[in-house]
A = this chain, B = another copy of it.
Amino acid sequence: MRDQFTHAIEDYLKTIYDLSLTHGRASTTQIAEVLNVAPASVTGMIKRLAGAKPPLVEYQKHRGVVLTQDGKIAAIEIIRHHRLLELFLQETLGYSWDEVHAEADRLEHVISEDFEERIARVLGDPTHNPHGDPIPTRDLEIPPHATLCLSHLRPNDRGTIRRVRDTDPELLRFLSDHGIVPPASFTVTGYTPFDGNLTLQINGRDQAVVLGMRITQQIYVERE
């Protein structure tokens, strides 16, 4: 059913999927930034994806791409690999949550469907990875997950940490040092307009923390 795509193609599909979730469409520059390649390289690859049989993206010159149904299926397959692997690395090999992403990013392209199936069973068909991202099911449905960004909360709001974006290991270490890890619950105790700083009191912690928007935009929560 799979393993027809190169590592590069898989990384592009994954990136386009991700960008489409927040922006509806993925632009050349956005993709280039995420993948750390030149915009010209993205244009080249985009054309290959659009010209594939069947096409994996729908491409309109100068206005970016969206995934076709085929492209979306391929992307979600890889995301399932990635997130299952992240949990597996943490649970079975004792990785910390800031280490799992980079390792999974390489493994995701080479494991077999058999490997995928085996770790899914060992882990008991989990629904979320260590960062709280939903793990697509075997038939590629996305489990329910938090979409409310912490930056939108205001003083006296209470809630639970559900997801943290996983791209920056340093941020992840900072957050776990302060107890900001799913499923910690918290109360917002302060807000500064203009700079958007939020003060967060994590339940069971002495010290409150002040978080800038750079950080609060990377965190998704469930409001009580």
Contact = CB atoms under 8 A, between A and B. Distances in A.
A118 B94 contact: yes
A8 interface: no
A103 interface: yes
Nearest to A94: B118
A163 B119 CA distance: 28
A176 interface: no
A107 interface: yes
B103 A112 contact: yes
B92 A103 contact: no
A45 interface: no
Interface residues of A, number: 18
A183 to B, nearest CB: 26
A109 B119 CA distance: 20
Interface in A42-84: none
Contacts of A93: 115, 118-119, 122
A90 to B, nearest CB: 11
A115 B104 CA distance: 11
Interface of A: 92-95, 99, 102-103, 106-107, 109-112, 114-115, 118-119, 122
18 contacts: A92-B92, A92-B122, A93-B115, A93-B118, A93-B119, A93-B122, A94-B118, A99-B114, A102-B112, A103-B111, A103-B112, A103-B114, A103-B115, A106-B110, A106-B111, A106-B112, A107-B107, A109-B110
List 3 A-B pairs, minimum CB-CB distance, nearest first: A106-B110, A93-B118, A110-B110
